[in-house]
Amino acid sequence: MNRPRTVDVRARLLLLEPGSSLLLAMILLATAMATMTTMTASADDTPSPDGDRLVLEGGAEVFGEIVKRTGASIWIDVGPQVLEFRLADVAEVVDVDGGTTKAGGFSGGIFSTAEDLPERSPLEQAERLGPTVVKVATPGGLGSGVIVHPDGYAVTNAHVVQGETALRATVWLPEADGSTVRTTIEDVELVAINNHYDLALVRIPHPEGVPFDFAPLERADELEPGQPIFAIGNPLGLEQTLTEGVVSTRTRQMDGLTYIQIDVAINPGNSGGPLFNARGEVVGITNMGILSMESLNFAIPARYVKDFLLNRSAFAYDESNPNSGHRYHLPPTRRRDGVPSQLLTGPAQRAQDRPASTSPDSPDSPDPRGSSR
């Protein structure tokens, strides 16, 4: 027989430490009221409230739906009301949707967007998004990139890979215990490159043949001056470095394009790395800064990234086309077999270069004493 599921409020209250505030008891009561009408599928089912869960520092648990997050607070809907908690008072947050609610799917088969992502602090986002950021290295230098598709497609700057085909990527693969394993992958493929946007698309094969973690692109162009943002990259090779700041302006015009001007610290090696908002969406790709100035840096807006990815076939890399980067020709082959002749210098070289028909006694030979005049 089916029976209504109830929550033992007394058992929950026993979790409170001595001296806990009356507010926590009220929260638990509100949670119980919100779940009492839920029906179980069988009388043998163990009562376990559905939805998101907060574990407070005192040991109490709050069930409901997380509706908003900031760097300092979190809001959860428990039914009768929406409650706000300081993150400093929360020991653990369990989000049943994993922060990817109402996934928008892949646009053009290569990148994704998402809806209703909760806002999180940079600390939380770094843990979630760190494995999506990669280091891109070439014989001429290094930069950063971000994986936008589980098959290993990653976006970086064109100037990071310009003129290079021997690409190498360093990735951080997540483990079951929450840690990551640093892995270097050699056979990275250059897929497309757009010098005007300063964007490039590469494909990184997974060493175990499984999908990569990936980051969604911003669904709507909603950046505003003063909005909190953060970047993850590899400045000067210092891997997985996070810097944060705000949007200075979203409409800085240079060379016919508009860039996002930011005060986030950007240095050589950050090029090609992602710029995230508080929801964990890629809002831009960092590409340049003015080294002689402070907090004067720029990023390519996500709308340009989407256009590049949707039309990537127009910018497909062709190794036989010299306009697609440098093509190094093979050295000329030797015309004769055997040991190369000795390199002659000085008088011996001049003697070898002298025409065979010319001799010191020949009338056509110049007078070694010079002119009599």
- pLDDT of 107: 55
Distance CA 262, CA 244 (A): 10
- pLDDT of 101: 33
Distance CA 52, CA 230 (A): 26
Q: Buried (b) or exposed (e) across 121-154, using 16+ Cβ within 10 A?
A: bbebbbebbebbbbbbbbeebbbbbbbbbeebbb
**At 40, is the pLDDT very low, low, confident or very high (cuts 50, 70, 90)?**
very low
Q: Which two tokens stand for residue 325?
A: 């980067």
Predicted TM-score (pTM) above 0.85 = no
Distance CA 279, CA 285 (A): 16
**Which residues are annotated as catalytic?**
159, 198, 271
pLDDT at 298 exceeding the cut of 60: yes
Q: Could you tell me what percent of the chain has a pLDDT over 90? A: 42
Q: Name the residue among 166, 176, 127, 169 with its Cα closest to residue 146.
A: 169
Question: Which residues partner with 184 through β-bridges?
Answer: 170
Strand residue runs (E) in the chain: 52-56, 61-69, 73-77, 82-86, 90-94, 103-107, 111-114, 133-138, 141-147, 153-156, 167-174, 180-194, 199-203, 228-233, 241-254, 257-262, 274-277, 282-289, 297-301
**At 352, is the pLDDT very low, low, confident or very high (cuts 50, 70, 90)?**
low
- pLDDT of 322: 52
Least confident of 113-127, 203-217, 240-254, 311-325: 311-325
| Residues 86-139: tens digit of each pLDDT | 877 888 777 765 543 333 456 567 898 888 788 888 988 998 999 999 999 999
Count Cβ atoms below 10 Å from residue 66 Cβ, excluding itself. Answer: 23
CB 171 within 8 A of CB 152: no
Q: Which two tokens stand for residue 70?
A: 């900031």
- pLDDT of 163: 84
What type of residue is 6?
T
Query: Sign (positive/negative) of CA torsion 100, 299, 141, 196?
Result: positive
Between strands 297-301 and 282-289, the pairing is antiparallel
- pLDDT of 354: 63
- pLDDT of 24: 59
Least confident of 18-32, 53-67, 80-94, 171-185: 18-32
- pLDDT of 185: 95
What does the mean pLDDT of the chain come to?
A: 78
- pLDDT of 33: 57
Average pLDDT over residues 332-355: 67
CB 161 within 8 A of CB 285: no
- pLDDT of 30: 58
- Residue scoring higher pLDDT (332 or 310): 310
Distance CA 36, CA 22 (A): 21
Average pLDDT over residues 347-358: 61
Query: Sign (positive/negative) of CA torsion 165, 266, 107, 126?
Result: positive
Distance CA 111, CA 272 (A): 16
Burial of 271 (0-12, 13-18, 19+ CB in 10 A): buried
Average pLDDT over residues 310-314: 92
pLDDT at 361 exceeding the cut of 80: no
**At 79, is the pLDDT very low, low, confident or very high (cuts 50, 70, 90)?**
confident
- pLDDT of 45: 41
Q: Buried (b) or exposed (e) across 321-330, using 16+ Cβ within 10 A?
A: eeebbeeeee
List of domains in the chain: 9-94 (2.30.30.100), 115-203 (2.40.10.10), 228-307 (2.40.10.10)
| Residues 268-283: tens digit of each pLDDT | 999 999 999 999 999 9
| Residues 196-234: tens digit of each pLDDT | 999 999 999 999 999 999 999 998 888 999 999 999 999
